[in-house]
Amino acid sequence: MSTTAGTPNTASTANVSSLASSKTIKQIGETAWKNRTVKINAELFTLTYGSIVSQLCQDYQRDFKKVNDQLFSMGYNIGIRLIEDFLARTAIPRCDNFVTTSEVISKCAFKIFLNITPAVTNWSTTKNSFSLIFNENPLSDFVELPMDASKELWYSNILCGVLKGALEMVQLDCDVYFVCDVLRGNPQTELKVKLNKILKDEMPAGED
Amino acid sequence: MSTTTPQKKSAVESPEQIERRRIVEQFLLFQESLPKVDALSYQWLLNEMVPMSMAVENNLNQLDEYSSLSSQSVEPGSQDLNEEFSELSLNKFEYTPSHKLIAQLHNANDDQKDKSNERLFKIGSGIGSKMTELLIFSNNPNLSFNSMDALGMVRFICKEVWKQLYGKQIDNLKTNHRGVFYLFDYEFQPIQNFALDDDEKVLLDVVAPYIQVPLGVISGILTSLGVPEDDLSISFTYVDIPEDRRKPLGQFPKGVNFNIQINQLQNSQD
Amino acid sequence: MAIQSVFIINKSGGLVYNHNFIEPKGAMNSNDYLILAGTLHSVFAIASQLTPKAVQISNKAEQRADTQVPYIGGIGVSENRVAPTQLGSFMGPDYFQEPFTNWNKSGLRHMVTDEFSMFVFQSLTGIKFVLVSTNNFRNNTSVSIAENILRKVYCIYSDYVMKDPFYSLDMPIRSELFDRNLRSLIESL
């Protein structure tokens, strides 16, 4: 019995340069969005999400903290499944560092699923936390919050849950939360992703 | 012109037809230019509504229990315990996996099921009423709401609404022309990927809550178009899929028959 | 390529799916399959440990020739699907159409005996997709073909298992839709 673990594969050598250099993260996201996704009108998405949030506010009798939590766990349930679709679709290599991770989230994941590319900024000095700034957000376009909600509700909190769940499945334990939101009267919508630790024990063998 | 054959003659468009075609094309172009998102994102959202509805049910019940517990406050140690608990819930978000919530809903008592279904229905009806607005202001040349009778409204649901929401139209519409409509969708899109290799009865029961959302949508559309809510009753049954609609690679084992009854019409014509 | 079996092993080494397209010679009961999956999971990890440090240190996956898998067109795409159609939620004539990087850098990837060959593809989340062929392939092209097939199995998994809200993560897969689509992929090879 002979085993080959990671033996150089001559047949594919020719493709290396074409893959590594020309296909940037941005291109992977844009190509996938352009050619590989079935699209629907964003307003439909907006109003569906709006209906969910407003029902939750009613159910929890305007206890917005509970609404935030519910949206988060809903997102988490989506994230842990959505990640497989994302990986199967893009086959994107493991990121060497958190900076690359941020690029993949912004230019690839958000591009493919929501057709937006939030800006990555506000890096911590240790490069383990960054912010995503949303200039557009298909969850909340044309939404206005009533006064009582605008202090406590994180309207798009589902996004935090999705990111939390998806990152956890690729062994990145992160805190994900909104810092501010234009819906609350803040000048911009900012979401913070903070890496707590890499779950080394859960890292699949063979990746090193 | 006299040499043109009758066939060709009919191909020549009148100015009105040309104008109409131009408007339709313009409308399609405009639709195309609207912001889009991945249809998958929408599907994830739809998939997650049912477990979410059960989670809310659980949380609301817990809240009741909690408040009755804390009001008792007898034992000396209990308060510390409560504080500890509230601390815990602050640090760790509460999360139950979707499939568990769905199973809980399946095994829930009738009261919980009803409440959860009502919640989904209401979300659907919220979607429906907002969609009406959206489609009214969309300048769709194929739509005229001015003289829309009940049949017109239902047709509007079968075509425009279903196409927007589910990417396909209703397959078959039947009516007794007295306020009863049957809308058959043999491939109701949101449930096509659902597969539970158990017996079919369980599957159909587990999937039923997912159909509360479109029932709500229909209700939301009709009420926002002026049908009084009290006159309206909407339900569904599963139906067999016609042989020629079966797909070799599999699909959900049943079609859905949406049943709309508008009582006012029934009475007025009786 | 005569495909004998497809296995899916979850991240803790549990067998969540197996299907024989050709019945294996020796009869195996379900327990045998579970043991096989667990063993494979361990051997995979051991192989990773055995990989010389020198190979591991030659760091970045994108720069290592051996982790690059070329796209091989026409695999498992039957005639009636050539048009710009949809494969589940995957748009276009094929699930993917570009070369890709294998996530598995140092684990067991390919195993040949006189009787069969076995290929292992592991996703970033730790799920292993295993393909067993009755041919004893020893060349690199067959590895590439197998890895193309396995990524497609992953695509089908992500489409029909992950989008089924009733599926419980890491548990056995019992989905007729997944079965049928996988069978259609393997049969059209």
Compare all CA atoms of chain B with the CA of A79 and give the residue at the minimum distance. B44
Question: Is residue A95 in a domain?
Answer: yes
Q: Which two structure tokens, joined as six digits, stand for C71?
A: 């796209």
pLDDT at C54: 61
Residue A183 maps to which CATH number? 3.30.1380.20
* Residue A157 within a domain: yes
pTM for this predicted structure? 0.88
Beta strands in A30-147 (DSSP E): 39-41, 119-121, 129-134
Q: Which of A15-24, B186-195, C48-57, C168-177 has the lowest mean pLDDT?
A: A15-24
Tokens of B245: 């609609």
Mean pLDDT of chain A: 88
Q: Choose, out of A30, A33, A48, A82, the residue to mutate when testing the contact with B (most B CBs < 10 Å).
A: A48
From the list A131, B100, A136, the residue with the least C-alpha distance to C166 is B100
**Are B250 and C174 an interchain contact pair (Cβ–Cβ within 8 Å)?**
no
Partners of C69 on chain A (C-beta within 8 Å) are 9, 12
Which ipTM was obtained for this model?
0.91
Judged against a pLDDT cut of 80, whether residue C62 lies above it is answered with: no
Contact list in B for residue C158 (CB cut-off 8 A) is none
- Residues from chain A contacting residue C87 (CB–CB below 8 Å): none
Q: Which two tokens stand for residue C56?
A: 């591991």
Helix (H, G, I), strand (E, B) or coil at A175: strand
The crossing angle, in degrees rounded to 10, of helices B200-224 and B98-107 is 90
Candidate from B47, B97, B250 with C-beta closest to C176: B250
Q: Is C138 on the interface with B (CB under 8 A)?
A: no
Q: Which residue of A has its CA nearest to B42?
A: A45
Q: Which of C89, C177, C184 sits opposite B195 (nearest CB)?
A: C177
The pair of three-digit structure tokens given for residue B215, joined into one six-digit string: 């029932």
What is the pLDDT, as a whole number, of residue A206?
A: 85
- Residue-wise pLDDT for A29-87, tens only, equals 999 999 889 899 999 999 999 999 999 999 999 999 999 999 999 999 999 999 999 99
Helices (H), chain B: 6-11, 15-33, 39-72, 78-91, 98-107, 110-136, 150-156, 162-166, 200-224, 263-269
pLDDT of residue B87: 41
pLDDT at residue C90, rounded to an integer: 87
d(CA A26, CA A38): 19
- Measure the CA–CA gap between C49 and C43, rounded to whole angstroms: 10
Check A115 against B35: CB less than 8 A apart.
yes
Q: Which of C3-12, C43-52, C64-73, C84-93 has the lowest mean pLDDT?
A: C84-93
Complete DSSP assignment for C118-136: EEEEE-TTS-EEEEEESS-
Hey, where are the domains in chain B? 39-269
Q: Of B180, B174, B236, nearest to B204 (Cα)?
A: B236
CA dihedral A75, A76, A78, A81 (to 10 degrees): 160
Across C42-63, average pLDDT = 72
C-alpha distances out from residue B126 to A37, A49, B2, B161, B199, Å: 27, 10, 58, 14, 34
As a whole-number percent, the residues of chain C with pLDDT over 90 amount to 53
**For residue A20, is it within any domain?**
no
pLDDT at residue number A10:
36
A-B CB pairs within 8 A amount to 120
* Contact check, Cβ <8 Å, C181/B250: yes
C113 interfacial to chain B (CB closer than 8 Å) = no
Three-point CA angle B154, B156, B161, nearest 5°: 110
For B43, the closest chain C residue by CA position comes to: C163
The percentage of residues in chain C with a pLDDT greater than 70, rounded to a whole number, is 88
B: neighbours with 3+ CB pairs under 8 Å? A, C
Tell me which DSSP letter residue A107 carries: I
Paired tokens of A33: 């969005």
Give the length of chain A.
Answer: 208
Give me the pLDDT at residue A153, please. 96
User: With 50 as the cut, is the pLDDT of residue C115 above it?
Assistant: yes
- Within chain A, strands assigned E span 2-4, 39-41, 119-121, 129-134, 172-180, 189-198
Nearest CB to C166: which of B43, B102, B251?
B102
Residues of B whose CB is below 8 A from C89: 39-40, 43
Residue A208 lies in a domain: no
Cα gap C74→C97, rounded to integer Å: 10
Residue B195 with chain C: CB contacts under 8 Å = 160, 164, 166, 174-178
Q: Which residue from C89, C168, C176 is facing B99, i.e. has the nearest CB?
A: C168
Average pLDDT score over chain C: 86
List chain B residues with pLDDT less than 50.
1-6, 8, 71-91, 269-270
Distances (CA, A) of C109 to B1, C48, C102: 74, 10, 10
pLDDT along chain A (208 residues), means of 10: 40 37 78 91 94 96 95 96 95 92 96 96 95 96 90 96 97 96 95 95 85
Domains and their CATH numbers in chain C: 3-187 (3.30.450.70)
pLDDT (0 to 100) of residue B140: 78
Distance from CA of C31 to the nearest CA of A (A): 24
Residue A160 lies in a domain: yes
Report the alpha-carbon distance of residue C131 to residue C3 in Å, rounded. 7
Pairwise pLDDT comparison (B155 vs C86), residue with the higher score: B155
Q: Residue A189 sits in which domain range?
A: 26-32+39-199
The identity of residue B104, as a single letter, is Q
What pLDDT is attached to residue B269?
46
Residues 77-136 of C with CB under 8 A from A: 86, 89-92, 95-96, 98-101, 103-113, 122-127
CB C28, CB A190: distance < 8 Å? no
> Closest Cα of chain B to C163: distance in Å?
6
Write phi, then psi, for B100 (nearest 5 degrees). -70, -40
Instruction: Give the whole-angstrom CA distance, residue A187 versus residue A59.
Output: 30
State the pLDDT at residue B265: 63
The arrangement of secondary structure in B39-269, i.e. its CATH architecture, is 2-Layer Sandwich (3.30)
pLDDT tens digits, residue range C9-30?
999 999 999 999 998 888 889 9
